[in-house]
A and B are shown apart, each in its own frame.
Chain A
Amino acid sequence: MKRQASRLLLLPGAAFVATVFALPVGALLLRSVSDPTWGLQNFRALWEEPVYASLIRNTVQISLATTVCCILLAYPFAHVMATRPRLTRLLTLVVLVPFWSSILVRSFAWMVLLQNNGIVNQSLLRLGLIDQPLELIFNRTGVLIGMVHVLLPFVVFPLYGAIRAMDPALMPAAACLGAGPIRAFLRVQLPLTLAGLVMGAVLVFVMALGYFITPALLGGRRDAVIARMIQLQVSQLGDWGMAATLSLVLLVATLILLGASQLLVRSPARRPAG
């Protein structure tokens, strides 16, 4: 009886989120088939007009490149973080501080650093490594530098957990049995930490798909991504039908990928092959 009563505590929060969040999201998504008139014309436009195809291609390419860079940087970082206890606290702080800093502030910082006469270009010129400033901003390079900076922690944390959970005797054992470092890594450590790696990678990819601030500030003017287009359509073009259609595509992709990664993590531990 008392337990039933405590469930009433859910009412205000659930009612609030339903009213201010869930119903509006539903109403927005509905507009994909109801705006400007009922029908599938928005989805037909999405399929047929080349502007949307290039939009989706840009977004997927940027997200994939970001994910790959994050994995390559996060693995050695998480490895040192997990296997050198004296560095763990310092490196956690190094990841945590940017993790909790405003994305707007960080994207602005990269704008300052990567400008034609910014610090990065000036240093490279002074060192004589380049003759003229590199184009580091308002293109894919800028987006990638900024997005990896924001999303790197999302791979570092799950990987750190996975490496910590490994039996520390395994790698010395592999070495003892004659495996070189590369072989031991590929056959022992990588399979054992794969679940953490995949989880972090999926998270990064999914988040990158919906990113708005960093591509808008650091990306090329013609190299738009889905989130930027949704914002433009809502606040400038008033094209709610297409905004809703793109939102639906983005949301479905997000939920499918997150659901798939959850299934993967929950499935029984895979054994390293061979």
Chain B
Amino acid sequence: MTAPWAWRWAAYALVAAISVYLVAPMAIIVVISFSDSALLTFPPPGLSLRWYRSLAETPAWRDSILVSLQVMVLTAVAATALGTAAALGLASWRGPLAATIRSLLMAPLVIPHIISGAAIFLLFDAWGWVGSLQALVLGHIALAVPYVVATVGAALETMDHRLTQAALTLGASPRIAFMRVTLPLIRPGILAGLLFAAMLSFDELIVSLFLSTPQLRTVTVLMWSNVLGDIDPEISAIATVILLVSMVLLALQWFLSRQRGVPVLQGIGR
């Protein structure tokens, strides 16, 4: 038919090798985090929870995880509110002004995070906010808004606008029509935006690196400064925790996109 069997098996072998390349590093890190040895050997000589215990007993790790969770929740909620409102405002508006505003809102997705980080640092340094929770939250919101605009915008584009029209014709007030018809229809897009914003915030390193101080830093910033020193299984334990948070959010997102076909997107600035 298409290709001789040898070609096909060569392609399968290559795809299997690429799959191992993509997935194995994370799997190995997770296994090493349960090691009972202080060496990063694989397979580990024995299994234990000592590195997780040491994480829980170190105030710096505990504080940084708390900071990251706070920033994540505040970012996700605020970015979803701002992004959803903006997507509603942009819906069915065409023209050069609309295109300009859309570009403005989407810009943080395209501009390399190293530039965003330096610029946001410049702003908050002038305001004396570096090392504060609000600086981290505001910085992360700016990066997360475009994700929400994209997912809610996509949901608005695919929904049937005649349904809202029908509700209005049947005597619903604009507010009721929005709450009872439009909002339920775009809810998957809003939830997807919320999850993307949360994932982005929890994983974010570069902007956080500029805005953190030893007194107040996210878990990725603390992991970064540890990775630059001597690496040990404790870092693989924190890496596993970070992976776990991402995977839980991804699983929720995967489930949602299975259901309603919300696009899986990823910014290119990272």
Q: Which residues of A contact B3 (CB under 8 A)?
A: 181
Of the residues A7, A77, A91, A105, contact of B89 by C-beta under 8 Å: A7
Minimum distance in angstroms from A245 CB to a CB of chain B: 12
Q: Is B86 an interface residue (CB 8 A)?
A: yes
Query: What count of chain A residues pass the 8 Å CB interface test?
Result: 82
SS of B interface (majority): helix
Of the residues B1, B107, B119, B139, contact of A27 by C-beta under 8 Å: B119
A14 close to B101 (CB less than 8 A): yes
A212 close to B114 (CB less than 8 A): yes
Minimum distance in angstroms from B11 CB to a CB of chain A: 5
Give the tally of cross-chain contacts (CB within 8 A): 239
Minimum distance in angstroms from B228 CB to a CB of chain A: 8
B19 close to A251 (CB less than 8 A): no
Given contacts A112-B32, A210-B115, contact A76 B88 (CB under 8 A): no
* Segment of B50-58, B186-194, B235-243 in the binding face: B235-243
Q: Is A119 an interface residue (CB 8 A)?
A: yes
Q: Is A149 an interface residue (CB 8 A)?
A: yes
A254 close to B111 (CB less than 8 A): yes
Given contacts A13-B86, A16-B145, A108-B223, contact A175 B270 (CB under 8 A): no
**Minimum CB distance partner of A153 in chain B:** B266
Of the residues B26, B29, B112, contact of A210 by C-beta under 8 Å: B112
A203 close to B174 (CB less than 8 A): no
B199 close to A28 (CB less than 8 A): no
CA A118 – CA B111 in complex, angstroms? 35
B28 close to A14 (CB less than 8 A): no
Q: Is B96 an interface residue (CB 8 A)?
A: no
CA A3 – CA B90 in complex, angstroms? 10
**Minimum CB distance partner of A97 in chain B:** B23
CA A101 – CA B25 in complex, angstroms? 11
Of the residues A73, A119, A171, A207, contact of B270 by C-beta under 8 Å: A207
In the assembled complex, 5 residue pairs joining A and B whose CB atoms fall closer than 8 Å, in A order, are A21-B142, A80-B11, A101-B26, A101-B247, A231-B206
